Amino acid sequence: RLKGYGKKGPHACHSGHVHVIGAGVMGGDIAAWCALKGLTVTLQDQDRGRIAAAQGRASALFARKKRDPREARAAADRLLPDPKGDGIRRADLVIEAITEDADIKRRLYAQIEPLLKPGAILATNTSSLSLETLRAGLQAPQRLIGLHFFNPVARMPLVEVVETAEMDPGVKAAAYAFVGQIDKLPLPVQSTPGFLVNAVLAPYMLEAMRCVDEGIKPETIDAAMLAFGMPMGPIELIDTVGLDIARDAGRQLSGAASMPACLETRLARKQLGRKSGQGFYPWKNDKPVKQG
Ligand code: NAI
């Protein structure tokens, strides 16, 4: 628990209705989590298949062991598929979790801003774009805030709250209240590359791969860091995040054009980690298969 940032925000519950745009890996799971925590959630995506897949994952989350079936049903009832985005007009908070591309995000904001309720907050889950870049073009740029969730949403307690000096203090307060309301831990960060967590993680992961290039087995590196006290070894973490994402983040945050050879050779073979079934480790039943 981080000192000074309690689970409850400074203001009481603010958001009754959350609208999530983008039902991919992150948006779908953010929507499910918010519904589980009692909020009404509308979930929009340009691809109806992604909404259906997200609902499937949400059902599995809601039905987890020890959960009262009535609670699971109520959560499922609160998660509403909304391919056309009708929920935007009613939402207290709109969370954007679409493709990581500034132009695509800005185009979406221009379309939806006139539809937002007065006082509604617009949040982005971007992991690498600056808020200054994203809010250019908004009529009310002070209502954009970053809410950076981590993958997998249901297991990761931290949410980075990305602030800028120009931000409306009411927006900030409501964002902290929302993060507390869904039982996550808000961490205030500035709009700088990698925010805080990824800025620290990127060199750690790159250094672990440089050890692989020097001939140390992935299993040895992971075992060492587990013994040190990390909850997961860095190489397994790279497999979990995805080797393509690790490369993009590594390039952006280190400024180096060339990445470790062990990463490039696997990417050339389309070995992306857990999501493709093979990365530094082969994956079976969602678990890495380690030697010795
Ligand atoms: P994804 O590719 O799984 O999902 C993006 C979804 O947005 C797709 O389903 C796509 O159909 C939809 N979409 C794109 N443009 C749209 C539009 N104009 N209107 C409606 N739907 C649209 O991407 P993912 O990984 O969920 O990432 C989403 C955001 O979350 C990005 O900003 C990314 O940087 C951020 N993020 C990703 C993390 C990860 O581990 N994948 C972790 C933390 C943040």
- Domain with residues 17-190, CATH architecture: 3-Layer(aba) Sandwich (3.40)
Q: Residue 202 and residue 187: Cα distance in Å, rounded?
A: 18
Which residue has a Cα nearest atom 31 of ligand 1?
Answer: 100
The Cα–Cα gap between 175 and 11 comes to: 9
- What is the reported pLDDT for 165? 86
Q: Which ligand 1 atom is at minimum distance from the Cα of 107?
A: 18
pLDDT of residue 264: 97
Q: Is the CB of 23 under 6 A from ligand 1?
A: yes
Picking from 183, 184, 178, 185, the residue whose alpha carbon sits closest to that of residue 17 is: 178
Beta bridge partners of 93: 18, 121
CB 109 within 8 A of CB 60: no
- 108 Cα: distance to centroid of ligand 1 (angstroms): 13
Q: Please give the pLDDT value at position 107.
A: 97
pTM reported for the whole predicted model = 0.89
Distance CA 34, CA 182 (A): 6
CA distances from 74 to 32, 66, 85, 142, 209 (A): 12, 15, 22, 34, 45
pLDDT at 255: 84
* Ligand 1: centre distance to CA 96 (Å): 8
Tell whether ligand 1 has an atom less than 6 A from the beta carbon of residue 200. no
Contact 199, 192 (CB under 8 A): yes
The DSSP code sequence of 1-15 is --TT--SS-SS----
What does the alpha-carbon distance between residue 209 and residue 266 come to, in Å, rounded to a whole number?
A: 12
Place of tokens 């857990």: 274
- The conformation of residue 278, written as its DSSP 8-state character, comes to B
Task: Output the CA 123–ligand 1 centroid distance in Å.
Answer: 13
What pLDDT sits at residue 12? 38
- Per-residue three-class SS string for 220-236: HHHHHHHHHCCCCCHHH
Q: Is 146 in the pocket of ligand 1 (CB under 6 A)?
A: no
Give mean pLDDT in consecutive 10-residue pieces for the chain, a chain of 292 residues: 36 72 96 97 98 96 91 96 98 96 96 95 94 93 95 94 90 95 96 94 95 98 97 95 91 88 98 96 94 85
Q: What is the CA radius of gyration of the chain?
A: 20
Helical ranges in 82-168 per DSSP H: 102-112, 131-135
Q: Write b or e for each residue in 153-176: b if 16 or more Cβ atoms lie within 10 A of its Cβ, otherwise e.
A: beeeebbbbbbbeebbeebbebbb
Residue 162: strand, helix, or coil: strand
Residue to mutate, 19, 21, 25, 122, ligand 1, most ligand atoms under 8 Å from C-beta: 25
224 Cα to the center of ligand 1, angstroms: 34
| For the chain, domain boundaries | 17-190, 198-288
Q: Which fold has domain 198-288?
A: N-(1-d-carboxylethyl)-l-norvaline Dehydrogenase; domain 2 (1.10.1040)
Q: Is the CB of 252 under 6 A from ligand 1?
A: no
User: What would the two tokens of residue 92 be?
Assistant: 């207290």
Which residues make Cβ contacts (< 8 Å) with residue 128, sequence separation at least 6?
100, 193, 194, 198, 248, 249, 252
Q: What is the pLDDT of residue 14?
A: 54
